[in-house]
């Protein structure tokens, strides 16, 4: 599977057939291609991690534990 984001970067993945079938099912339920579904999932995860880091830094700043 090859993922293209904004036409500038390519990422090739080798994944198990069962995982690909599950990804296809999840993508189809949302009317998306597998590539779009995977990219969206990665972007959400990245946002979640950055948001959690920001929360932790804010708590440190205000002395909240």
CA separation, residue 10 to residues 27, 28, 53, 56, 64 (Å): 20, 22, 28, 33, 42
pLDDT (tens place) for every residue of the chain, 65 residues total? 555 555 667 778 899 999 999 999 999 999 999 999 998 998 888 888 888 889 899 988 888 76
pLDDT at 16: 94
pLDDT at 39: 87
Is the pTM for the entire model greater than 0.85?
A: no
Q: What are phi and psi of 5, to 5 degrees?
A: -120, 120
pLDDT at 8: 65
pLDDT at 7: 60
Task: State CA 4 to chain mean position distance.
Answer: 14
């Amino acid at each position: 599977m090859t993922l293209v984001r904004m036409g500038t970067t390519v990422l090739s993945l080798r994944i198990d057939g069962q995982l690909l079938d599950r990804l296809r099912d999840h993508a189809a339920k949302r009317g998306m291609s597998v590539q779009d579904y995977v990219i969206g999932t990665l972007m959400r995860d990245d946002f979640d991690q950055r948001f959690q880091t920001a929360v932790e830094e804010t708590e440190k700043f205000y002395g909240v534990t």
